[in-house]
Amino acid sequence: MKIVELNTGLFPDGPRVDAAIATLNSAHEVEQIDARQLDKNDEPAWEAIASAVLGADLIVTL
């Protein structure tokens, strides 16, 4: 299963969710994306995020 972890910094329990996903990393393919400092005009980065999200089986937002 392909899991995309999108770190937005919006949720206070993000570190706990991040730790839970780390336990899944050995059994599943996990891609971690940090969007906290991403510039809204950085089109290549946003396109990469969109591509990762569209190709994922599960999306987790932190």
Mean pLDDT of the chain: 86
Strand ranges (DSSP E) for the chain?
2-7, 29-34, 58-61
Residue 56 has pLDDT above 80, yes or no: yes
pLDDT of 39 > 90? The answer is: no
Q: What is the pTM of this model?
A: 0.76
Answer for the pair 38, 45: CB distance below 8 angstroms, yes or no.
yes
The yes-or-no verdict on residue 57 having pLDDT over 90 is yes
* Contact in structure between 41 and 15 (CB atoms under 8 Å): no
Q: What is the pLDDT of residues 3-30, one digit of tens each?
A: 898 888 888 887 888 787 777 767 788 8
Which of these, 34, 38, 42, lies nearest to 61 by C-alpha position? 34
